[in-house]
Amino acid sequence: MHKGGVPPPPVISDSDGQIFTHTHSNGSPPRLYQLWKGSNRFFLGGRLIFGPDFRSLFLTISLIVVPVILFCAFVSQRIVNEFPHHMGRVLVVFPVAFTAYIIFLLFLTSGRDPGIIPRNSHPPEPDDDLSWMSISWIGSQTGGPYLPPPVKEVIVNGMIIRVKYCQTCMLYRPPRCSHCSICNNCVERFDHHCPWVGQCIGKRNYRFFFMFIFSITFLCLYVFGFCWVNIRGIMFAYQCSLWKAFLKSPVSGILILYTFIVSWFVGGLTSFHLYLICSNQTTYENFRYRYDGKRNPYDVGCAGNFKEIFLSKIPHSRNNFRAQVDLESPSVSNSLSSHGRGTSQKNFDMEMEKQRPVDIEESGEIQVQIDSNGELERCRTQVRPASCESQSVIPTGTEKSLEGKEKTDGDH
């Protein structure tokens, strides 16, 4: 309850289209992550940000951890004895530590801001120079409220790049930026939305994403190789065939098959992104624009591209999700009101309508009068057909009263 016993005003959330009110026991204003209009999920008070499909992380972690547990429990015993001078123990401890490193990379990829661009509270102001605006767009907007043109041109490294206007975020997307339909955010240097990590891959987490898939490829090859070492040791120890060695260590056979399949999948993905890094492309650009035969304005050479991805400083997030938001500030009020003109505004109007009950019979009489007035107006404005000349439009309630009167006259 706020001061003076007045409840706080409703805040419209566009992420779910519902009306909710943020109240705190200590009376403090809500934080930015509590008013966030994207589809993200926040944890630890806004310190961790995930995509809406963050539950896929449990499947991804299990696909990494379970094979390593099986390797350490059923395959590592013979490897410890195969290598002298405690080398065997090191070879067994290494995949455990490396798996922990991979999980750490996974959370660096999925639990941080990938490069979300904050939304504007209102559309940008019209530019003085409208020469780049399409004629059809100007003609459609004459006499109405100002709407930004859908496309404008910017120059990047001497080349003209067309950037689009995002109707949701009310901003012109910077070059290499795209709006993710899953997270409902504009992401800087958008690569793709990865369902395996439950997050967009953008400018602030692409480095960790590549290190994550590269590390998984190396771990699969490691387990694959030492499972073959274990099978080979069984064949020499028991002087048996390959098939009998697999029967003596079935877990080794399962891990060999599993890591072989995963290595092709993750290894192919690593090779593809290695090519993208060398040519300074994103997955979105590669599938949409196809720079084959055209000059890529972002390509600065293989060495420069690697330096940009791995040696450049990761920019700070543009969003302080834990910052407190003043609901009474003009910018926040404009943002909520302008952004609530869609589904949220409809829900708000419906909610306000529910607070003012109307009698059912009264509403029915009002609707009948509206319908009858509409029919009379159409008959007056149009050429009178035979149906309008021969019949008069009478409200439903009046028709019933006339029928009852005629029946009474007939009885008399």
Count of domains for the chain: 1
Question: 382: which 2 tokens?
Answer: 């149009």
Any domain includes 400: no
**Facing residues of 231 across strands?**
none
- Residue of higher predicted confidence among 114 and 154: 114
Task: Give mean pLDDT, residues 158-165.
Answer: 85
Q: Residue 393 — φ and ψ, nearest 5°?
A: -85, 120
Which domain range does residue 209 map to? Answer: 49-117+191-311
Contact 116, 185 (CB under 8 A): yes
Any domain includes 17: no
Instruction: Describe the crossing of helices 396-411 and 360-381 by its angle, rounded to 10 degrees.
Output: 90
- Residue 403 CA to its chain's centroid (Å): 62
- Residue of higher predicted confidence among 398 and 245: 245
Reply yes or no on whether the pLDDT at 40 is more than 80: yes
3-state SS class at 192 = strand
Any domain includes 219: yes
Any domain includes 113: yes
Closest CA to 191 of 205, 178, 201: 201
Residues whose CB is less than 8 angstroms from the CB of residue 87 and which lie 6 or more positions away in sequence, other chains included: none
Q: What single-letter DSSP state applies at residue 194?
A: E
Contact 147, 141 (CB under 8 A): yes
Task: Give mean pLDDT, residues 383-395.
Answer: 40
- Residue of higher predicted confidence among 289 and 406: 289
Any domain includes 224: yes
d(CA 287, CA 121): 32
Closest CA to 197 of 189, 188, 206: 206
194 a catalytic residue = yes
Report the number of secondary-structure helices (H) and strands (E) in the chain. 14, 11
Any domain includes 241: yes
- Residue of higher predicted confidence among 124 and 276: 276
% residues pLDDT > 70 (the chain): 66
Q: Which of 70-74, 79-83, 179-183, 194-198 has the weakest average pLDDT?
A: 79-83
pLDDT of 324? 86
Reply yes or no on whether the pLDDT at 251 is more than 70: yes
pLDDT of 408? 43
Cα-only R_g, the chain: 33
Q: Report the sign of the C-alpha dihedral through residues 10, 14, 18, 21, in that order.
A: negative
From 166, 194, 220, 227, active-site residue: 194
Any domain includes 370: no
- Residue of higher predicted confidence among 363 and 181: 181
> In which element (H, E) is residue 152 found?
strand 151-156
3-state SS class at 30 = coil
3-state SS class at 65 = helix
Any domain includes 297: yes
- Alpha-carbon separation of residue 304 from 78, 301, 308, 309, 311 (angstroms): 46, 5, 6, 9, 10
Q: Residue 154 — φ and ψ, nearest 5°?
A: -130, 160
Contact 308, 279 (CB under 8 A): no
**Facing residues of 31 across strands?**
324
pLDDT of 65? 97
Q: What single-letter DSSP state applies at residue 248?
A: H
Question: 324: which 2 tokens?
Answer: 């407190």
pLDDT (tens digit per residue) in 307-354: 999 999 999 999 999 988 877 665 555 545 444 443 444 443 444 444
